[in-house]
Structure formats: structure tokens, C-alpha cells
Amino acid sequence: MRFVFPLTALALAACGQTTAPAPETAATSAEAPASTAFVAHYDAISNTAMSITGALDLAPDVLSFEKGFRIEGARTETMLMPDADLSAGGGTARDVTGNTNILNMEVRRVDLVRVAADARDPQLCGEGQTVSHVIVAHGTETLSLLVFSGADAPGPNAHNSQLCGTFNYALAAAQ
């Protein structure tokens, strides 16, 4: 085994190629692949988004808003189609947001709404209501954010889930 690496290096050198990285380096990079936390930046386009949240930075487990707060929480296993009821008899994401070109939706559990010291509390669900779930609805031109309170994750079988607000965004132009 000691001679395999030097022999490989010699063979590669004869072909005009350099040696491959040492096995330790390859193992390290395989164990810790680089992940991209930031997904995209969106500009607020609906009145509610412009007045309450401002622009949105979308990342896998964090929604960061221009108005000084962020929603932290992971995606759930709940899969919803754009024409699925948001709660028992509660309408669909297309109906509620006006975003008729929704391609896919992800449901996120809300673990924490973190508000900056110099920002006002966004009161996404009204005073005294706790945000429990968020749906991120990806459309062809519009990203819609639907905010919920209640114990149940949104979906056709949810009985304890209330829609608190809808916010629409457009992908920001590259700068």
C-alpha cells in the first residue's frame, strides 16, 4: 500500500498530470461538503409585505426580513400541492394569495421569531397569536409566504390551523 501512492504519482507525472490530493484531504472534504445557506433575495411586492416585512432573504432554515426580524425553523415532511386546502375548508394557496402560477410549496415549522433590538415586533398573526407554521409557495414570477398560527400544520386535515397573513415577493434583480 505504501508503494501505490508513489507509483500513481509517477504514472501521472509521466502523463503530464499532477498528483491527486492526499487521501486525508479527500476524506475531509467528503465529510464536510460546502453548503450554500443563502438561496435568494426577494423584493416585497404586496402591500402587506411592503408595510410589515420588507424584502426577504430566503435560506433553508431561516427567513430574514428587511424590517429587522427573522423566522427560524426547518421544513416539515408535509407535502402540499397548490390546489390543496390550507385547512379543513380553508381555501387553497392560489385562492388566498392570488398567485395562480405556484409550482411547489414547502411547509416550515416555526421554532423562533427573532426580532432585532431596534425593530418593532411584526405581529404577523396579530397581538397575542403565536406564529406556528409558514408556507413558502414558489411561483413562476411570485414567491408567496403564508403565515399560520395553531397546533396543526397547514393542510386539508388541519383543524387547529389559522391563516394569519399572506405576503408576496418577486425575485430581486441581479445587481
Q: Which residue has the higher pLDDT, 137 or 91?
A: 137
Residue 16 has pLDDT above 50, yes or no: no
Q: Which of 16-30, 56-70, 89-103 has the lowest mean pLDDT?
A: 16-30
Residue ranges per structural domain of the chain:
1-34, 40-171
Structure confidence at residue 14 (pLDDT):
43
pLDDT for res 127: 84
pLDDT at residue 35 is higher than 60: no
Give yes or no for residue 122 having a pLDDT over 90: no
> How far does the chain reach from its first CA to its final CA, in angstroms?
52
Mean of pLDDT values over 23-44:
53
Phi, psi of 11, rounded to the nearest 5 degrees? -65, -40
Question: Is the pLDDT reported for residue 37 higher than 80?
Answer: no
| Secondary structure of residue 171 in the 3-state scheme | strand
Q: How confident is the model at residue 105 (pLDDT cuts 50, 70, 90)?
A: very high
Averaged over 110-116, what is the pLDDT? 93
- Residue 133's DSSP bridge partners are 109, 148
- Report the percent of the chain where pLDDT is more than 70: 77
Query: Which range, 18-22, 29-33, 71-75, has the best average confidence (pLDDT)?
Result: 71-75
* Confidence label for 175 from pLDDT (cuts 50, 70 and 90): low
CB 92 within 8 A of CB 85: yes
Give the mean pLDDT of 4-25.
Answer: 40
Q: What pLDDT band is residue 22 in, cutting at 50, 70 and 90? A: very low
Residues 6+ away with beta carbon under 8 Å from 92: 82, 83, 84, 85, 86
Q: How many CB atoms lie within 10 A of CB 49?
A: 26
Which whole-number Å values give the CA distances from 44 to 52, 91, 109, 114, 170, in the listed order?
Answer: 10, 23, 22, 20, 7
Across 131-163, b (16+ Cβ under 10 Å) vs e yields bbbbbbbbbeebbbbbbbbbebbbbeebeebbb
What's the Cα-to-Cα distance from 168 to each of 5, 15, 77, 85, 131, rounded to whole Å? 57, 57, 23, 19, 18
What whole-number distance in Å separates Cα of residue 168 and Cα of residue 56? Answer: 10
